[in-house]
Structure 1
């Protein structure tokens, strides 16, 4: 079954163009990483490539090559900054696979053995709860350079 074409009106495309604000964690020529506003755990970060693609299935291999090391770098910073015991890294493809925003993106979710994941829908987190967490991650990224 053929996938629909990329739709540049999706929320991540709008964030990349600066039309919608985000709490930025990291940005370079290839990706933008920001706090998920409906976090499944404190410190949930999204890494979005700047090259348009609906998901992994139609992504340019060069964009994927740039994405992977950046996901790794940000994941290490999230884990270190928050003292997480582990991480769950998720990437969904197509509606049946759980994808709801049709721009390739990777979820980095810090994990602790005693903390259940929250649902990833519904209530948005308040910026005043996300900013201090974001600041810790940004500081850990700066230390990693």
Structure 2
């Protein structure tokens, strides 16, 4: 797949420079060039899948296993007391590279990042209709 248009596919094939921190038969993890915090790493499947809706569950499981491994390495090597995982599927969710990936972001202090959204607590009973809609697949 030489000359792949996807930057992550080019990283996988070795034609785009990167700084890998972990690799296995199914995944590669490399430092994000835009570090949110020191050690911010991306974990990607070697096969191209656009987003969460397209990746087969067994490949997603490989990515999650690699994510757990990378999180442990970041925690130990960088003495990060916390880790955030971030994934975005679709442009409206802020996905900017359309190759499935998970961000593993080491955390050093509660204030080193800004939360991406504001949560509003709702009465549990008010969520009944929404839960039913999701369960029914509507």
1:73-99 deviations in Å (ceiling 9; x for gaps): 110110111111201110110010110
**Structure 2 partner of 1:80:** 76
Q: Which has the higher contact order (CA 8 A, sep 6+)?
A: 1
Tell me the residue number matched to 1:49. 45
Q: Which position in structure 2 is the counterpart of 1:122? A: none
Secondary structure of the corresponding residue to residue 100 of structure 1: coil
Q: Give ranges in structure 1 of 5+ residues lacking alignment.
A: 1-7, 119-145
Task: Report how far residue 117 of structure 1 moved.
Answer: 3.2
Larger Rg: 2
RMSD: 1.4
| TM-score, scaled to structure 1 | 0.72
Compute the TM-score of the two structures, normalised by the length of structure 2: 0.76
Whole-Å separation in 2 of the counterparts to 1:34 and 1:42? 13
SS state at 2:36 partner: coil
Aligned pairs, number = 111
Counterparts of residues 18-57 of structure 1 (less than 5 Å): 18-57=14-53
Query: Is 1:96 the counterpart of 2:92 in the alignment?
Result: yes
5+ residue gaps, structure 2: 115-138
Give the corresponding residue for 2:62: 66
Q: Secondary structure at the match of 1:107?
A: strand
**SS of corresponding position for 1:79:** helix
SS in 2 for 1:109: strand
